Amino acid sequence: MGVTFSVLLMEDSGVVMPVSADVLRVLSATDSEPVVLFCCGAVRFLDSLLASPQQPIEDVLTEDEIIRWSTIIKAEHQLVILFSTEQRGEHCLYVQRFNPNTLMKHRFETEPGFSAPINFSATCRGSNIHLLYLYLNGSVYESVLPFRSSSTGAEVVQALSRSLCLSLPLGEEKLMSGAAVVLDEAHVAVVGFPHPSAGACKDYLCIWNTHFQTLQACKEMAGRIYSQLWCYSGKLYVPHGKMLSVIPFDCQKSSLAAAMGKQKQTSQSAECSFVTSWTSQSCTDVTQTTEIKSRMSTRNNIKSALTVDQLIQHIKTSAVEDVQAEVGEFIRRTPQADLQLAAGRVALELVSRSQTDANFYPQCAFLLLLETRYLCYSVCPELLSLAMVKKDFHLCQIAFQIFSDIPEAVTCACLKTILSTPDLEMETVNLDTDSVIFMKELTRAQSRSDEEGGQLNGFCPPALESDVSDTPSNKLQRDPLALDTSCPVGLHKGALLNEVLQTAYSDRSLLPHLKDLTVPQVIVFLQYLRFLYFKYSHDAHKQIRALRTPSISQIIDWVCLLLDAHFTVLAVAPEAKRLVFDLHKFVRSQVKLYAELGKIEGSLQVLKNSKQSEDFGMYAIHVIELF
């Protein structure tokens, strides 16, 4: 914009300025003097050039060196001009600084096959310039240049130190161009590269998080994208087809939680939170190794190992059994690094076939893919809803255990399905045995303690005694334990609900979706939560050894959320009255108990503190150090 404007002005005023060398570009940054960049690499301020147009212009570049890209950066009242050149396949970056005038030359490290960076984006952060550049193989590198030159003009041309900050996935088609632009320190917008799971169509604007190597957002652009992209003041400008789209964007503070879905619970054990993003592996490595691998395998055993592409072709056509066998074989034979990339593609393909072909549902293949733990919700979002549609609760359960990035809306939809499915139907489903055993033990511990006729921890809530007058029902009903001798849901449903309770969520996003539950569903769920809460309060679960159990705080959080979401319903619905009343009574007694415990804790703390006082007797020789 600035460039054309200044040229027009000059033409309007009719001033023609013959200068002694070819001008390449006039660069200007806001609130600073425009700078003229000559084809030969020399740089002059426009004002000084206008003052004496015929001044000699030195040749900075060699004869056949051509400037490919240039930009100007301004920060701290300091201007820096960057331009890259090409000379017989060798690419260099020049950094021109002013006051004092210094010119630094750096050489871009070459990569066999992809010698030239195809796109540059430079930003200023702190006292450094961050230069991001993109290669056709999908590698995005970052180089950091100091804003103020520190070297005293050592004439050795050094290779530009760089770090790989992103490896973009490549589609099947050979790419010719692409563009990347830095949005902030963690986000990069890319056009011209295919969406990782949308297949061959490459007309996508993708925003990548470089910290976590995740795809943050994407937008399909109608028509062909011209591999051009600009970013000015919070808006992205993308020419595509016959349009220029202006897309305002907002980069939120990136965190792992935001990148991976909301990871609220911190107590998740390592086994279930292991999710790796498939992009963390460099794409070049993968393609190279697969090539070698396939060559090797052709020599050894022609029949067995399929490449990903072959497998995907097979999935499109073969029968369920064959597909399942092939997927199993593929997972068994493919090296872990390759599998990370391939699992997502295979799963996507399987899901899309299942969605179109009603008879095609390779459950075993899905389970095998899940077991690789390379899948996550974002890689294959349709999988969970497909499982729900097919009422494949086993798959759901495994997915809940493995995926840590399930959106709250999906969690709620699953919860709804689970609650609305009749217990009878549920009992036939084959579920993870560990979880079912937990439920069995939980209900058994109950009946056992009833048989013994005593409470396990000997706690008698004091509040209940005082409430005798206002509850004229019989004695059995006053005891919250006796109220709920049985689990309100079947074992399998309970096991599935436990999985839901352990998913990660953020309550603000969950709350609106939770409102979708119907009143009977809410009451059943709340009854179940109350059942768990009572159980946990009586320490029954401590005797059960199980790998995954909801924690007491998870249960209480869900109770709070449910009460919050359905407050009015629970206040009005007659069938909820008893439930809420009992829950309240129990909570009140617990609060009293904890208040008492707090007092004991205070006393014990005093005892502990009094013991802690340093006691070394009457004499000691210490060593102290002062700094």
Partner 1 sequence: MGEFKVHRVRFFDYMPSGIRALAFNRDTERMAVARMDGSVEIFHCSDRFFQEKIIPGREQCGIEGLSWVGERLFSAGLNGGITEYDLTNQKVKYTIDAYGGPIWTITGNQQGTHLAVGCEDGTVKLFEVNEDKIQFERNLDRQKSRIVSLSWHPSGSKIAAGMMDMIQIFNVETGHSIHRMLADRGVGTSRSKECVVWSVVYLSDGTIVSGDSVGMVKLWDDQTGTLIKSHNVTKCDVLALSVSQNEDSLVAGTSEGTVVQFQFVSMVLGKDDNEWVRTRTFKNHTHDIRAVAEITTAVVSGGMDAQLVVKPLLDKIEVRSAASALRKIHFPHRRLVFCARKSGLMLFQYPGHLELWRLGESEGKGIPGSSLFVKRNPEKLLHLKVKGEDHIRCSAVSPCGEWIVYSTASSLRLYRLHCDNNNVSITKISKLPKVLSSANQLCFSSDSSHLFSASTQSSVHIVSLSQSGCKFVGTLKPKSGSHQAIHLLAASEDGEWLASANSDHEVHIYNLQTRKAHCTVPVYSSAVTAMGIHATTNCLFMMYADQQMCEYSIEQKQYTDWSRTVQRKGLHRLWMERDTPCLNVMFNPQNPSHVILHDTYMLCIIDQSLPLPDDKTQFYNQLTLKSLTEEQRKSHSHAFKVCKTFKDILCVELISDQSLVVVERPLEDVATQLPAPIKQKKFAT
- Residues in touch with partner 1 (CB under 8 A): 603, 613, 616-627
Per the CB < 8 A criterion, the answer to whether 561 and 522 are in contact is no
| Closest CA relative to residue 401, chosen from 424, 420, 384 | 384
Task: Residue 583: name the closest of 511, 504, 507, 528 by CA.
Answer: 528
34: preceding bond cis by omega (within 30 degrees): no
Helix (H, G, I), strand (E, B) or coil at 551: coil
Residue 608 CB, shortest distance to partner 1, in Å, is 15
Q: Which is nearer to partner 1, 232 or 616 (CB)?
A: 616
Task: Please say which residue, 155 or 625, places its beta carbon nearer to partner 1.
Answer: 625
289/304 Cα distance (integer angstroms): 18
Question: What's the min distance (Å) between Cβ of 161 and partner 1?
Answer: 24
Q: Which is nearer to partner 1, 99 or 613 (CB)?
A: 613
Tokens of 460: 């008698």
Q: CA 163, CA 433: separation in Å to the nearest integer? A: 47
Sign of the CA dihedral running 216, 221, 227, 232: negative
Does residue 478 contact residue 471 with C-beta atoms inside 8 Å? Answer: yes
Residue with tokens 């006082």: 613
Ramachandran area for residue 609 (φ above 0: left; ψ -120 to 50: alpha; else beta): alpha
Rounded to whole angstroms, how far apart are CA atoms 399 and 404?
9
Q: Which is nearer to partner 1, 302 or 623 (CB)?
A: 623
- Least Cβ distance, residue 327 to partner 1 (angstroms): 54
Shortest reach from residue 611's CB to partner 1, in Å: 13
CB of 32 to partner 1, least distance (A): 35
Q: Closest distance between partner 1 and the C-beta of residue 603, in Å?
A: 6
Nearest distance from residue 616's CB to partner 1, in Å?
Answer: 7
Q: Name the minimum Å distance from CB 626 to partner 1.
A: 5
Beta carbon nearer to partner 1, 467 or 596:
596
- For 521, other C-beta atoms within 10 Å of its C-beta total 16
Residue 541 per-residue DSSP state? G
Q: Which of 88, 622 has the CB closer to partner 1?
A: 622
Nearer to partner 1, 253 or 611 (CB): 611
Rounded CA-CA distance 349/326 in Å is 14
Helix (H) or strand (E) holding 15: none
Nearer to partner 1, 232 or 619 (CB): 619
Distance between CA atoms of residues 507 and 513, nearest Å:
10
